[in-house]
Homo-oligomer: A and B are copies of this chain.
Amino acid sequence: MTAPILEVYEDLLTRSKKLVLLSSAISILHWDMETKMPERGLGQRSEQLAVLDVIAHQELVDPKVAKMLEAIESHQDLGSLDQAQRRNVHLIRKAYDESARLPESLVADLSKQSALTVGAWKKAKGAQDFKLYRSELARMIELRAQAAEIMMQVKGTRTPYDALLDSYEPGMTAERVTEVFDGMRRGLKKVLDKIEGSGFEPDVSITERKVPVESQRRISDLAMEFVGYGPEGGRLDETEHPFSTGYYDDVRITTHYFEDRYTSSLFSVLHEAGHALYEQNQTPAWKYQPIGTAASYGIHESQSRFVENIVGRSPEFLRYMLPQVRSVTNGALEGVGLEQFVAAVNLVEPSRIRIEADEVTYGMHVIIRFEIERDLFSGRIGVDELPQVWNQKYKDYLGVEVRHDSEGVMQDTHWASGYFGYFPSYALGNIYGGMFLDRMERTLPDWKKGVEAGDFLPVKNWLVENVHRRGNLYDPADLVKTVTGKDLDIKPFLNYLDTKFSAIYGY
């Protein structure tokens, strides 16, 4: 006798909930490792994580999961499942197919290696010495390549790197990314040319004034208050590289304070809070279900960059924030006018550090990483060449000289953690963000007036309703189509940039 489909479905969801709980517990241990753990604890932490990763892997690839999936997929009442239920089944099937072929030993090795490589990266970055990082990174790449090879076969992608891309941005390929990035590069170059042709030079010295970390912490508080990211469901800590992590009622962010770049922390807090809002505002009824999470890394980045740039770097937000920042910085902003401030935090200038890059040149940083990743995984370049290739590309594409590897190939934590294929999401996030803005402005033509008065709520609500609450109900391309009615289009983002910077640079 066949069990009723809903009964099998509920059993499947119960298993899935266990996995969600395991992975959210694991993310706390990772957060702790980055923020609170004593240095000597690294060895045992990597062993703890390896054990938990193996347990999660075993849970997922348990033959019982395959049986439940098959029972549902071949069930005569399959059509009786609603959209959300079918999507949950689809997502579990996808995760199962991606993982069932990965040997347990490889999963454990990847987990251990991630902790070790991040540890080596931290030391090497502090010491400005790539050699301290090289061999742990090489081992990480080797393990990730082994996994990608297996995933390529399961997913039927053309290359191992495409399999990695697909796990961050379902359906995306290196070929498509190259195509999209080509259009982006041309569009960004046009805006950049206009900016450089304007002859206007923002006075950035006003963002280089010394602001003590204690004052910057108060700026962070103001920023979090503005976006409605509060201590009841989150927290802010300090790490070398800012990040956000968490699930529904406990979503945490980090930042890094530089005494002589006080706006760096302001915008990283806005960025990470944008990520955090997305996780916090998932549909409550979907908690512990596969659909109750982000649609993709690219969509995630669209939310963080929307809050950081489209809202956070807008003249209207800055008009609201400037007096408040002034009041907590004890004279550091003396004599700074709004126009000056807006221009300074919107300075467009090729630079070395991705997370400090402006909205126009940012794409170039991502393109460099994308090309290097692609070439690493196709074997065209080796680990030892990384610093040299990196520095050459920064010279060729951005015209800047990298002085040492800590501001070069070791600036990001992603590769140390094994996140190859992630970087393109950042630029896709910009493109999605532009499309969302275009759509939002039809519903909320006056959103900037609210922001100017310190009211972020209408924008937040729009994002929650249109993006956050939809969780992982759609693949990213379908989500974008559902929200905007359109297919992937770089024009809205380029138009947004052109309009904004023509006003600031007066071209």
Contacts and interface: CB of A to CB of B under 8 A. Distances in A.
A128 interface: no
A460 interface: no
B232 A40 contact: yes
Contacts of A247: 44
A44 B37 CA distance: 22
A233 B24 contact: no
Contacts of A45: 250
A22 B47 CA distance: 10
A53 B233 CA distance: 24
Nearest to A33: B28
B28 A32 contact: yes
Report the interface size class on chain A. Answer: 35 or more
A249 B29 contact: no
B48 A21 contact: yes
B48 A233 contact: no
A249 B21 contact: no
A236 to B, nearest CB: 11
Interface of A: 18, 21-22, 24-25, 28-29, 32, 36-41, 43-45, 47-49, 51-52, 55, 231-235, 247-250, 252, 287-288
B25 A250 contact: no
Given A28-B32, A248-B44, A250-B44, A22 B51 contact: yes
A39 B288 CA distance: 19
Contact of A41 (B32, B44, B250): B250
Nearest to A287: B44
B235 A36 contact: yes
Contacts of A32: 28, 32
18 contacts: A21-B44, A21-B47, A22-B52, A25-B25, A25-B29, A25-B49, A28-B32, A29-B29, A32-B32, A36-B235, A38-B233, A38-B235, A38-B249, A41-B249, A43-B249, A44-B249, A44-B287, A47-B288
A27 to B, nearest CB: 10
A115 to B, nearest CB: 13
Interface of A is mostly: helix
A49 B29 CA distance: 13
Contact of A38 (B38, B40, B48, B232): B232
Contact of A48 (B25, B51, B234): B25
Contacts of A36: 36, 235
Nearest to A59: B55
- Please list the 7 inter-chain residue pairs (A to B) with the smallest Cβ-Cβ separation, ordered nearest first: A41-B250, A40-B249, A25-B48, A40-B233, A21-B51, A21-B48, A41-B249
- A32, A41, A45, A51, most chain B CB atoms within 10 A: A41
Contacts of A28: 28-29, 32, 48
Given A36-B36, A44-B287, 4 more contacts: A38-B250, A40-B232, A41-B250, A43-B249
B40 A25 contact: no
Contact of A51 (B18, B232, B250): B18
A198 to B, nearest CB: 45
Contacts of A49: 25
Contacts of A55: 55
B43 A24 contact: no
